[in-house]
Amino acid sequence: MIRVINSILFSSSFPAGGGRDRPICPSGSLSDKNVYDWSSEDEEQDGRARPVQVLLVKDDHTFELDEAALSRILLSEKVRDREVVAISVAGAFRKGKSFLMDFMLRYMYNHASDVWLGDANEPLTGFSWRGGSERETTGIQIWSEVFLVDKPDKTKVYNISQNIQEDDLQHLQLFTEYGRLAMEETFLKPFQSMIFLVRDWSFPYEFPYGQEGGMKFLEKRLKISENQHEELQNVRKHIHSCFTNISCFLMPHPGLKVATNPHFDGRIKEIDGEFINNLKLLVPWLLSPGNIDVKEINGSKITCRGLVEYFKAYIKIYQGEELPHPKSMLQATAEANNLAAVAAAKDLYNKKMEEVCGGDRPFLAPSELQARHGVIREEALQLFRGVKKMGGEEFSRRYLQQLEGEIDEVFVQYIKHNDSKNIFHAARTPATLFVVIFVMYVAAGITGFVGVDIIASLCNMILGLALITLCTWAYIRYSGEYRELGAVIDQVAGALWDQRPQKDKCLTATIDSKHANSLVRDEQRLAWKTGESRRTQQGEWLKAGV
């Protein structure tokens, strides 16, 4: 059975670490935002929100993650470091998930109003939906606008038609098995909120519509009895142990016009009144900030940036034709958990280094830059070590090494950026070329004066070449064109510039060597003279008869 997920993303109005911002409430009606064929070019032109397919189901039944589209949404500057929740509706196709999500969107755009459902004659827009027996959406779609609220959550809505059957509970077996392994690793409940939304509930005389009737019905369905099969008992036990909060909501049928009219476009006036009354209770109950909690994995709150890492980690294990083993899911979670910590630590390093030597900061002495880098690098590593991570210390060590390597690579770029602000460093290439021109001019004059015409011609040729190179370099710097050629000129000039210190070192080494040899010879001469003096004195003693 193919299960499709539609999601709305929420981000906290509090950055992941503290400081409070004012919540941002999107303005405009949902009908202004209805465009389905989404691309970055369209977004740049009109800026309208729309559903985005981030997980594609290919013809060979494999999955493909649209990482670029996901990053455009989750890594935007205003949300990437904020705590996140995905309100997702999962279930079999043709069960009205997109239909329900569009009412959630209406609430998010108009929740300040008591009449958030809008005009009764207004068509329902947002996620693409239609009636009929053929599926409309596959994979995972998310809304391109992230809503900022005071208190986010991670809530999963399990969309079920008419009743909660045993096979519906069996579909949670993979989650419960993963949860069992995850609890062995972290001793925490792996999932937070699960809501069973039973659509087209046909027995209101047994259990009334709404949350209250749903909770009584769910309690009966998840009750464990001695005459149940052991596997069914285990599923129920695991469901209770894996989710922090489990609830249920019973929804009536939306009416025959919705089910049988091929031209139905979501107008409220054509939907059954009982359905609308319960919809007004369901959506605020799901999305009200007072009813939701921050999404956590292994006790750590997840940011939009971290959610991208989890997407990338999970897509790897779903590439095969078979459903992944729960152990593989656990390992993918641990990998994403560590990669999210790496991203957070690296982001801290970049922010602090930008404050030290960013684009608007003046040139910093290399020794001071190195010292500040060492302090900030250690802060970033401490941040990584302090994040709760799955997999254990041995598993996290390679990600720590990855972080150290990436920080060192970034530091090299900061060194180059800082050096470019040094006026003497920037003038090194023209200064070197001017020296070459001057030396060749003098050498050409002297050699021409003494009659060595071949050497004079060679010096003049080098002089002309250096002059052309200087003019070319000046044009490249002015126009910004042929940057690769400019880089080659800078490298050659840098190599010539660096020859002077090398010569100084050689000269110093030669002087030191000559001085050392001189000292050795003086010591040998002194020792020889001392020996001669002693032999002369001994001869005189012998002559005196001593």
What is the tens place of the pLDDT at every residue in 264-312?
777 888 888 898 999 989 888 888 776 666 677 766 778 888 888 888 8
Q: What is the pLDDT of residues 317-355, one digit of tens each?
A: 777 666 667 667 778 878 888 888 898 899 999 999 998
In this model, does residue 140 exceed pLDDT 50? yes
Which pLDDT score is estimated for 139? 73
Closest by CA position to 496, among listed 436, 438, 425: 436
In this model, does residue 45 exceed pLDDT 60? no
Cα separation, 506 vs 373, whole angstroms: 33
Q: Is there a shared CATH topology between the 155-251 domain and the 338-423 domain?
A: no
Mean pLDDT of 141-154: 71
Give yes or no for a contact between 325 and 174, defined as CB atoms under 8 angstroms apart: no
Cα separation, 367 vs 86, whole angstroms: 46
Give yes or no for a contact between 87 and 104, defined as CB atoms under 8 angstroms apart: yes
Q: What is the pLDDT of residues 287-300, one digit of tens each?
A: 877 666 667 776 67
Least confident of 75-79, 86-90, 129-133: 129-133
For 28, 474, 475, 478, the CA distances from 463, given in Å and listed in that order, are 68, 17, 19, 23
| Helix (H) / strand (E) containing 157 | strand 155-161
Give yes or no for a contact between 162 and 124, defined as CB atoms under 8 angstroms apart: no
Cα separation, 194 vs 180, whole angstroms: 16
Give yes or no for a contact between 437 and 376, defined as CB atoms under 8 angstroms apart: no
CB atoms within 10 A of CB 78: 12
* DSSP state at residue 124: P
Closest by CA position to 307, among listed 83, 152, 146: 83
Mean pLDDT of 177-194: 68
CB atoms within 10 A of CB 112: 7
Query: For residue 233, what are its two tokens?
Result: 């008992």
pTM exceeds cut of 0.85: no
Closest by CA position to 359, among listed 418, 399, 410, 403: 418
Q: What is the pLDDT of residues 471-498, one digit of tens each?
A: 888 887 777 777 788 778 877 877 777 6
Least confident of 236-250, 338-352, 363-377, 487-501: 487-501
Q: What is the pLDDT of residues 378-397, one digit of tens each?
A: 999 999 988 877 777 888 88
Say what the alpha-carbon torsion angle 460, 463, 465, 469 is, to the nearest 10 degrees: -170
CATH topology of domain 338-423: Methane Monooxygenase Hydroxylase; Chain G, domain 1 (1.20.58)
CB atoms within 10 A of CB 437: 18
Cα separation, 44 vs 56, whole angstroms: 23
Greater model confidence, 216 or 118:
216
Contact residues for 124 (Cβ-Cβ < 8 A; gap 6+):
99, 102, 103, 106, 265, 266, 267
Cα separation, 490 vs 473, whole angstroms: 9
Which pLDDT score is estimated for 492? 81
**Measured over all CA atoms, what is the biggest interatomic distance in the chain, rounded to whole angstroms?**
146
| Domain locations in the chain as residue ranges | 1-154+293-320, 155-251, 338-423, 427-509
CATH topology of domain 155-251: Rossmann fold (3.40.50)
